[in-house]
Copies of this chain bind each other. A is one copy, B any other.
Amino acid sequence: MKDNNDMPGHLARRFQQIAVAVFHAEVEEAGYDLTPVQYAALAAISTNPGIDQITLAGLIAYDRTTITGVVDRLAQKGLVARNPSSRDRRARELQITDAGRQTLAGITPAVEAAQKTMVRGLTAEETEELMRLLRKAIAAGNELSRAPLREALAQAAKDK
C-alpha cells in the first residue's frame, strides 16, 4: 500500500489547502475580505483593463463557468465594473474601479506575506526550487485541465 505522502496528488491538495488558509488568515488580519481567486482576478483586471471574461479566465487559468461567479462577486463588492463591449455585443469589458484599486494596493502586503508564510518551512533556495519544479510540472500538464493557462494573444492582436 502506497503512502499518501508518496502521492504527488495528495501533496498537491494538502499544500493548496494550507496556502488558501494562510491567504485567508493574512488578508483578514489586514482587514480585507477577498479570496485568493478574487485577488488574482482583480489583479489581472487591473493589469489588463477592458479585458473580456474568457481572456481573463485564460490568463489566470480559471474555468469559464467559475469566472462568472468570481466577477459577479467582485462587481457586487464594487471593485470592478462590467460593461458591454462595443466591439462584440456578446462580450463584457471588465474595468477595475477606484475602490478596486484601493483594495488592491492595500491588500498586496498581506498577499506577499501569505506567500512567505505558506513556505515558512523551506529555505529561500528550497522555495525557489519548489517554484521551479511546480512551474515545470504545470507547463507539461497545462493542457490536461479544462482551464489551461492562455496567453492574451488575441487581446494583444486586437490592440494593434
A residues lining the B interface (CB < 8 Å): 1-2, 4-23, 25, 36, 40, 43, 47, 60-61, 112, 114-115, 117-122, 126-127, 129-131, 133-142, 144-147, 149
What is the copy number of this chain in the assembly?
2
Contact of A15 among B7, B21, B60, B137 (CB under 8 A): B137
Give 19 new A-B contacts, CB below 8 A, not counting A17-B61, A129-B129: A1-B47, A5-B135, A8-B115, A8-B131, A9-B23, A9-B36, A9-B114, A9-B115, A9-B118, A12-B16, A13-B16, A13-B19, A14-B134, A15-B16, A15-B141, A118-B144, A120-B140, A122-B133, A130-B134
Q: Are A15 and B120 in contact (CB under 8 A)?
A: no
Q: Please tell me if the beta carbons of B145 and A121 are within 8 angstroms of each other in the complex.
A: no
Once the chains bind, are B25 and A144 in contact (CB under 8 Å)? Answer: yes
On whether the beta carbons of A14 and B138 are closer than 8 Å, the reply is yes
Within the assembled complex, what's the spacing in Å between the Cα atoms of A79 and B73?
38
Contact partners of A137 in chain B: CB under 8 A = 15, 18, 118-122, 130
Judging by beta carbons under 8 Å apart, are A112 and B2 in contact?
A: yes
Task: Identify 28 residue pairs between A and B in the complex whose beta-carbon atoms are under 8 Å apart, listed by A's number.
Answer: A1-B43, A8-B115, A8-B119, A9-B22, A9-B118, A10-B40, A10-B60, A13-B19, A13-B36, A14-B138, A15-B16, A16-B16, A17-B145, A18-B137, A18-B138, A18-B141, A21-B145, A25-B144, A117-B141, A117-B144, A120-B140, A121-B137, A121-B141, A122-B140, A129-B133, A130-B130, A130-B133, A130-B137
A23 to chain B: closest residue by CB:
B9
